[in-house]
Amino acid sequence: MHVNKISKKILLSGILVYLFLYIPLLLLIVYSFNDSRINVGWVGFTFKWYSVLFNDTQLIDAALNSVFIALIASSISVVLGTLAGVALHKYKIPVLSGLVMIPVAAPELLVGVSLLLFFLLINFTLGTASIIFAHIAFCLSFVTISVKTRMHGMDDSLIDAARDLGASPTNAFFKVLIPTILPGIIAGWLMAFTLSLDDFVITFFTAGVGSTTLPLAIYSMLKMGVTPEVNAASTIIILCTLVLTSLSTKISPQLFK
């Protein structure tokens, strides 16, 4: 009986935590269908704010720019992160493994400021390129951790067996190692794409004139008040993030154990 009471308390605590986290998001989604420009009360159901959103050329351009940056940053990160993950698993250098965790553990504010100072130090013009480099810098660690975690579940003797059977180091890498750790690579790419797509803090510090992303565009809209159009844009970002995160967890479940 005592164990059952403890289990019920744990379950109740978990439910309360999830409600605290997700009720604001659910309210945001619900009010994106509210037939009123002022979010002070429910008036009626409508899809017109999504129509307004999809006819807003500036917001669409910002969204396309976000997707372009996310595709480039995640693709480069997955190549470099895969190589880094394989190297860290093979050589097992504790110092390097610890350094990989710094961008993950450090506050985004510090990462954004440090990247801004670095770009100013080397006289690099802020713009789309600086955002891409900044996103690669913090996405790289997530991909590396994903690949390195996948490597832990791999039998290292497979590479040795391939070499004994006459495979060159290149063939063993691309035909044995890569297919084995592919779920971790895909999960790392999806995670990097999601992080890059909805990042605001680091992008805010490293963006230049004319390099607006969707999160930055939504932030500028918030200066005029929280309108249903902002709620609609935020809802789409939430759904995209949810889909990509779900795919990532299903492709590489070992990463989240």
Give the pLDDT mean for 233-241. Answer: 81
Q: What is the pLDDT of residue 251?
A: 61
Residue 41 within any structural domain of the chain: no
Top-confidence range, 54-58, 70-74, 170-174, 241-245: 70-74
- Provide mean pLDDT across the span 123-147: 91
Binning pLDDT at 50, 70 and 90, where does residue 256 land? very low
- pLDDT value of residue 5: 66
Structural domains counted in the chain: 1
Mean pLDDT score across all residues of the chain: 82
**Mean pLDDT on 146-154:** 82
Instruction: Please report whether residue 10 resides in a domain.
Output: no
The 10 Å CB-count burial string (b at 16+, else e) for 232-257 is: bbbbbbbebeeebeeebeebbeebee
Assigned domain for 42 exists: no
pLDDT at 225: 65
In a domain, 122, yes or no: yes
Contacts for 196 with CB less than 8 Å, ≥ 6 apart: 66, 69, 70, 73, 74, 135, 139
Q: What is the pTM of this model?
A: 0.79
6 in a structural domain: no
Is the predicted pLDDT of residue 175 greater than 50, yes or no? yes
Question: Which whole number is the average pLDDT over 199-227?
Answer: 82
Quick check: is 17 in a domain?
no
21-74 pLDDT tens trace: 888 888 888 888 887 777 667 778 888 888 888 888 888 888 889 989 999 999
pLDDT band at 167 (very low <50, low <70, confident <90, very high): confident
Q: 257: pLDDT confidence band, cut at 50, 70 and 90?
A: very low
The pLDDT score that the predictor gives to residue 129 is: 92
How crowded is residue 200: how many other Cβ atoms within 10 Å of its Cβ?
14
CA 7/CA 125 separation, integer angstroms: 56
pLDDT surpassing 90 at residue 9:
no
Tell me the pLDDT tens digit for each residue of 91-112. Answer: 877 777 778 888 888 888 888 9
Q: Rounded to 5 degrees, what angle do the CA atoms 98, 101, 105 make?
A: 130
Asked if residue 181 belongs to a domain, the reply is yes
Secondary structure, 3-state, the chain: CHHHHHHHHHHHHHHHHHHHHHHHHHHHHHHCCECCCCCCCCCCECCHHHHHHHCCHHHHHHHHHHHHHHHHHHHHHHHHHHHHHHHHHHHCCHHHHHHHHHHHHCCHHHHHHHHHHHHHHCCCCCCHHHHHHHHHHHHHHHHHHHHHHHHHCCCCHHHHHHHHCCCCHHHHHHHHHHHHHHHHHHHHHHHHHHHHHCCCHHHHHHCCCCCCCHHHHHHHHHCCCCCHHHHHHHHHHHHHHHHHHHHHHHHCHHHHC
User: Across residues 115-142, what is the average pLDDT?
Assistant: 92
Range of the domain at 160: 48-256
> Of the spans 14-23, 49-58, 126-135, which averages the highest pLDDT?
126-135
What pLDDT was estimated at residue 255? 45
What distance in Å separates the CA atoms of residue 132 and residue 129, rounded to the nearest whole number? 5
Look at residue 43 and tell me if it is in a domain: no
So what's the pLDDT on residue 19?
84
Q: Cβ(208)–Cβ(126) under 8 Å?
A: yes
CATH code for the domain of 81: 1.10.3720.10
